[in-house]
A and B are shown apart, each in its own frame.
Chain A
């Protein structure tokens, strides 16, 4: 996983609430067995018309937003299906930071597994930041100090310390958990005695 430390970009603003993962990446693209290559289909139904032609005035199709690394969106981003294809598609498109007032739990977790930073801010801060998108000005996201700098202003955000460490160091959390194999083993050994039915009756 690529490390995330800081990021400077003109943000793209998508003022829609409850953006679900079906919207982020529709089901026809879930048939892949790879993690890559989904960027071109990100927000497919908003980006292309029924004949597959590019819808010019959709924000991510327009310059400079087609190169944005930051996406600002309405409340409850990433709700619905657990598909990790959603963060894969964002990442493949180049978006490594999302800003919203709230996220669905599974999507939120999925972001961290893919080096994407999801930031939670109040609605009024989001409105302020969206002005920078409209004016095509860059904003700076700094994970280390947990703050966003825009113009002469700053706003801080909070992030779980462990998740932050994993992002900043690009850690593989399976490797981290495997370091605790002994603990898992002794848990399993006790479990086999306490709840033998969990292991024995798999016909």
Chain B
């Protein structure tokens, strides 16, 4: 029978299947970080269990760490304890860790691909919902809870039930200034935050295959915001070239074997999907979120929705609630919304291409004087690369702060956060209430749009600066 790429990866990883479909799935790659792993190691210790395959696990610190000078350590005691706990756990259980002062340190979903740890056809898990990012390499990658982290550490497997197959075809071309961030925001707006629940989404179509590896990661990254378990894209030459020569990529004869295997990872032509939708690139323009759910998207030239136009009472109440939180009036033009902060970074848009895109807009321009703006590169290596290209100078000259890598204001666990009622144009992935700081107001945008907002001082159309 014809199979989808997801079906094939699933079958390749089945260790055991019960009659009811509950399956034990082998995990090839496990990423861990300081926030969702301590209780898992505690569980192992309490039950005297070992880590089954320490070599298949890679640890980084990212969520909690300061993005300012690292040489002084971490002031916040709880954060420091978490980081130290991870260090100790990795040492005790023999797991490789990129610690806070390691150049290779960064956001877990940026480090995995960058090191070649992320590979096509693998099952990759991490105690973090944005693990979906790695699906850009044609791997089945998804987030898990801490009990499951413990399960993977102890058994190198995971108990799962098969999800449904959902395909999103995107064809056509993107206009100048429109990016894969706008594509995924549009998709989430269309399917809703629960639209992918219980499914694995495969992104296909010419527009997707024309995207760079980095842009593909942005799409897969936000798959979780559409509720899907994972998002994946068939791997191709671009992926293989990206991986070639990375520190943890296969080498020598193993490279040839791997390449041979990877080249056959595709959905059969006549494979059937439980659900399928189509989009065309020409219909996609720069997008912004206006509310407190990633499905609350509107085009940059649009207006804030009016709850009076909504007939469903629950939806109406939800719009009213969001507008109140966001401090917005119905029917306001999006471009009239003044912002206080700009955040460029996160596992969605903290890669080198994202920084290049923002820098292109900011070159020889200054941010608006009332705006506080910062760039947090996704990893130490992204930071280094950007500095080699002189991007840091461009950002600093326009008035941005240039920080050390980490999750930073994407979730505001460290010192980088919004104050109540502060409004931010952010390249991250979640605009939930309080996500970037209690009472903080987040508008999700692409890196170019964030740069445009920094210059204009309000949400603005990047295409204006794109000539």
Contacts and interface: CB of A to CB of B under 8 A. Distances in A.
A114 B39 CA distance: 13
Given A23-B433, A79-B227, A160 B22 contact: yes
B198 interface: yes
Contacts of B42: 33-35
B155 A174 contact: yes
B98 interface: no
A183 B24 contact: yes
B44 to A, nearest CB: 9
A35 B145 CA distance: 12
Interface in A10-28: 15-18, 20, 22-23, 26-28
B334 to A, nearest CB: 21
16 contacts: A76-B193, A102-B197, A104-B197, A105-B197, A105-B198, A106-B143, A109-B144, A109-B145, A184-B24, A184-B156, A184-B157, A187-B26, A197-B119, A197-B257, A198-B28, A203-B247
B15 interface: yes
A75 interface: yes
Interface in A79-113: 79-84, 87, 102-106, 109-110, 113
A50 B227 contact: no
Interface in B16-41: 16, 18, 20, 22, 24, 26, 28, 35-36, 38-39
A82 B307 CA distance: 31
Interface stretch (A61-69, A144-152, A188-196): A188-196
Interface in B52-90: 52-53, 55-56, 63-64, 76, 78-79, 81-82, 85
B146 A84 contact: yes
Interface residues of A, number: 60
Nearest to A31: B78
A20 B16 CA distance: 33
Interface in B258-315: 258, 261, 293, 295, 314-315
A180 interface: yes
A75 B194 contact: yes
A179 to B, nearest CB: 10
A109 B127 CA distance: 13
B227 A104 contact: yes
Interface of A: 15-18, 20, 22-23, 26-28, 30-35, 45, 50, 74-76, 79-84, 87, 102-106, 109-110, 113-114, 160-162, 173-174, 177-178, 180-181, 183-184, 187-188, 191, 195-203
A26 B438 contact: yes
A79 B64 CA distance: 21
B338 interface: no
Contacts of A30: 35-36, 63, 413
Contact of B36 (A17, A84, A197): A84
A29 to B, nearest CB: 10
Given A31-B78, A173-B159, A177-B157, A197 B15 contact: no
